[in-house]
Chains A and B, each alone.
Chain A
Amino acid sequence: MSQRYEIRFSGAGGQGLITAGIILAEAAAIIEGKHAVQSQSYGPEARGGASKSEVIIADSPIDYPKATQVNACLALTQEAADKYAHGIIDQGVLLIDSDLVKNPPQGNFTLYRLPIIHTAKVEIGREIVANVVALGAMVALTGVVSFKSGEQAVLARVPSAFKELNQKAYRVGFEKMKEIL
C-alpha cells in the first residue's frame, strides 16, 4: 500500500465541490503524473442536500478509492460539517466557511476558518466560483499539488470566457489561506 493522501470536499449540492475534486485530481494525475482517484457521494436531489467529493492521491496505484483516514477536509455548510467532517486524522486539517459553519466539529485536528463564500461573492464578484476559491485554499493548506499545477488544471477545465475569473478566484483562495497559515 502506498502512502495515501486523502482530501474530502463537502458542502451543499450545486456548490461545485465535485468539480473542485475533479480539478484537484487532474492536477495530481494528469499534470503531476501521480496516482489519483476522485469519487463522490450524492443523493437524489440535484441541488441542496449535503454532498461530498473525495480525492485520494498517492505515488503508486490506489486500491480503495474512498477515504479511510482523512488528511484534509473542507466543509462549506453546517450540514456538510455535521455529516462529513469526520474521520479526520490527528494532525489533519479542517477548513470551514467561517460564516456558514457556526458549530465546527471537535477533534484532534487543526481547524482553519475562511469566509470562502463571502470572498467569492464580494472580492471576486461571483458566488459561483466559491468552489475554486476553496480549491485554491485547500491547495495552499495541503501542498498536495503545487500552486502552478492547480492553476493549470483550473484553466484547463473552465470555458475560455471564464478563465480570468476562475484564475483570480484560485489565486485569492490560495493567498488568503497562506495569510492565516
Chain B
Amino acid sequence: MAKKTALIQGNEACAHAAIYAGCTFFAGYPITPSSEIAEVLSKELPKIGGKFIQMEDEIAAMAAIIGASLCGHKVMDASSGPGMSLKQELIGYACIAEIPCVIVNVMRGGPSTGMPTGPSQSDVMQARWGTHGDHATIAVAPASCQEIFSETVRAFNLAETYRMPVQILMDEIVAHMREKIVFPEPGELEILNRQLPAVSPADYKPFDTSFGDVPPLAAMGSNYRYHVTGLNKAPDGFPTTTAELVDAEERRQLRKVEANASAIEKNEEYLVDDAEIIILAFGITSRSARFAVDNLRKEGVRAGLFRPITLWPFPEKRVAGLAGQVKAIIVPEMNLGQLIHEVERVVKGSCKLAGLGRVDGEPITPYQIIDKVKEVL
C-alpha cells in the first residue's frame, strides 16, 4: 500500500510527529506562530487516550509537562519568544532535575512581544543560555516539513535518552509553509524510551550514577517514591551542599551531552568538498543559501552550504575543519548576529568570516546572500 502523503504545514507535521514519537501529554498556551501545534494536538491527543491541556499561561504549561513527564509520559509544549522567556525558570528546573521534555519554539522577533507574524531566528542564544546556571543544551533546527517530522521524533528520542529538555527551533516560514510529506509507517523511524529502574522501589535512587551518566527514571504514581527538587541534589534526590557531590553532579549533567556530542550532532553538507566559500545557515535561511549556492556555482564561484540541524551542541569539530579548507565562511541568520559568535569561537581566525543579519520580518533572500558572497570574496 502506498504510504500516506499530505500537503501540511510545518507546525502540523510537528504535532503529528509528536504522536508518532509516543507523546501522550501536551500542555500549552497558544501563541503565534506556534498555535497550530496546540490546535492539532488538541484534536489528536484525545483520540489516542492522551491529554491536551490549555493552561492559564506559559509558565503553567511548562510546569504541567514537567509533572506529566515525571509521571512517565512523553511530553511536549510549544510556544514563541514571549512564552519562551516566561518558561526559562522551569526549563532550568527540568535541566537540574533531569526531566525529559520537548519544547518547541517557533521563533518570532523580539525582545518582548516583537512581531508575532514575522519570521525570525533570534532565539539561538536564548535556547543555549536562556535559563541561568551551567547546563547542557540540545536544540534542533529543521528546515522542511518532512524534516520537522523526523527531527521532532528525534527530539523526543534525545530527551528520553539523555533525560533532559530538548528544544526544537523553528521560524514562522518553516512552521507555516505547506509541503508534501510522506508519513513514516509505524516502526520506520526509531523510537527510544527512557530507561526505567531495574532495582526495587526500596533500592531506587533517582540520580544513581552507578547506572551511568543518565540514571534510570521511575514514574511517579508507580511504586517508586522519590524526591525532586531544583536544588543541587544527592543521588537520592534530596538537597545537598556537599562540595564533591555538587561538583560531580554539575559536571555529569554537562558530560552527558558533551561525551555524546557526535551521536547527537546532525548536519547537512552541500558541495563543500571543493568549496572556497561556505555559507553556514540553518532553518529557512539554509534554503535561501542552497538557492544561492546553485546560482553562484553557475557563475563559477565554488560555493558550498553547511547546515547545522543540531544547533546545540554546536558542530564545532566539523566547522573548525571546514574553516581550514576555505577562504571564507558567511553566516546569514534572521537576527543581528548570534550563531556567528559560535562560528567565530571555533574558526579562531583561520578563514574570513562575515555575517548577514535581517530583522525586518522578511526572510533573507538568495540574492542578498549572493551579493554578500561576492563582496567577501
| Number of B interface residues in the complex (CB < 8 A) | 22
Complex Cα–Cα for A42 and B305 (A): 30
Cβ of A162 under 8 Å from chain B: no
Give the residues from 279 to 305 in chain B that come closer than 8 angstroms, CB to CB, to chain A. 284, 287-288, 290-291, 294-295
Query: B6, B290, B363: which contacts A66 (Cβ < 8 A)?
Result: B363
CA–CA, A35 and B366, complex, Å: 19
| A1-B291, A1-B295, A44-B117 known; A22 vs B178 contact (CB < 8 Å) | yes
Chain A residues within an 8 Å CB radius of B176: 39-40
Give the distance in Å from the alpha carbon of A49 to the alpha carbon of B188 in the complex. Answer: 44
Tell yes or no: B365 within 8 A of A by CB: yes
CB neighbors of A among B349-377 (8 A): 363, 365-367
A64 to B173, CA, bound (A): 11
Contacting residues, chain A, for B290 (C-beta < 8 A): 63-64
CB distance from A129 to the nearest CB of B (A): 21
CB distance B117 to A64 under 8 Å?
no
Instruction: Indicate the member of B176, B179, B287 with the most A CB atoms within 10 Å.
Output: B179
In the assembly, what is the distance between CA of A99 and CA of B344, in Å? 56
Return A41 CB to nearest CB of chain B, in Å. Answer: 8
CB 8 Å contact bits of B145-171 with A (1 = contact, 0 = none): 000000000000000000000000000
- Asked if A30 meets B178 with Cβ closer than 8 Å, knowing A42-B117, A64-B288, the reply is no
Cα distance, A66 to B176, chains bound together (Å): 12
Q: Identify B177's interface contact among A26, A30, A39, A63, CB under 8 A.
A: A39
Given the complex of chains A and B, what is the CA–CA distance between A63 and B367 in angstroms?
Answer: 13
A1 to B303, CA, bound (A): 14
**Chain A 61-75 per-residue mask, 1 if CB under 8 angstroms from chain B, else 0:** 011111010000000
Chain A contacts with B in 96-152, Cβ cutoff 8 A = none
- Interface Cβ pair total, 8 Å cutoff: 59
CA distance A39 to B144 in the complex (A): 12
**By the criterion CB–CB under 8 Å, are B7 and A65 in contact?**
no
- CB pair A65–B366 under 8 Å, yes or no, is no
Decide: A66 and B173 in contact? CB cutoff 8 A.
yes
A62 to B178, alpha carbons, bound, how many Å? 12
The residue in chain A whose Cβ has the minimal distance to the Cβ of B116 is A44
Question: B223: which A residues are within 8 A, CB to CB?
Answer: none
Chain A interfacial residues counted at CB < 8 A:
21
CA distance A26 to B181 in the complex (A): 11
Would you call A25 an interface residue if the criterion is a C-beta within 8 Å of the partner chain's C-beta atoms? yes
Contact with A along B175-194 (1 / 0, CB 8 A): 01111100000000000000
Interface status of A38 (Cβ within 8 A of chain B): yes
Distance between Cα atoms of A29 and B117 in the complex (Å): 26
B197 to chain A, nearest CB (A): 45
B7:A38 contact, CB within 8 angstroms: yes
Q: How far is the CA of A105 from the CA of B179 in the complex (A)?
A: 31
Q: Chain A contacts of B291 at CB under 8 A?
A: 1, 63-64, 68
Query: Closest CB of chain B to A175's CB: distance in Å?
Result: 26
Determine if A26 and B7 form an interchain contact, defined as CB atoms under 8 angstroms apart: yes
Interface residues of B in 245-291 (CB under 8 A from A): 284, 287-288, 290-291
With A1-B295, A30-B6, A39-B176: A68-B367 Cβ-Cβ less than 8 Å: yes
Complex: chain A residue closest to B33, CB-CB: A42
B5 sits at the interface (CB 8 A) = yes
Shortest distance in angstroms between A69's beta carbon and chain B's nearest beta carbon? 10
Question: Which residues, 19 to 40 on A, are CB-close (under 8 Å) to B?
Answer: 22, 25-26, 29-30, 35-40
**Complex CA distance for A56 and B7, rounded to whole angstroms:** 13
CA–CA, A92 and B116, complex, Å: 33
Q: A29–B5 Cα gap in the complex (Å)?
A: 10
Query: Are A39 and B180 in contact, CB atoms less than 8 angstroms apart?
Result: no
| CB pair B294 A38 closer than 8 Å | no
A118 vs chain B, min Cβ distance (A)? 30
Q: Output the nearest chain B residue to A34 by Cβ-Cβ distance.
A: B180
Query: Given contacts A36-B7, A64-B366, is CB(A30)–CB(B180) below 8 Å?
Result: yes
Quick check: B177 and A65 within 8 Å, CB to CB?
yes
> Which of A26, A29, A44, A65 interacts with B287 by CB under 8 Å?
A65
* A38–B177 CB distance below 8 A: yes
Q: How far is the CB of A59 from chain B (nearest CB, A)?
A: 14
Determine the distance from Cα of A22 to Cα of B177 in the docked complex, in whole angstroms.
Answer: 10
Decide yes or no whether A159 CB sits under 8 A from chain B. no
A-B contact pairs, 18 of them (CB 8 A): A1-B291, A1-B295, A22-B178, A25-B7, A30-B7, A36-B7, A36-B180, A37-B178, A39-B177, A39-B178, A63-B291, A63-B294, A64-B365, A66-B363, A66-B365, A68-B365, A68-B366, A68-B367
Closest 10 CB pairs of A and B: A39-B177, A1-B294, A63-B290, A64-B291, A29-B180, A38-B178, A63-B291, A63-B287, A26-B7, A64-B288
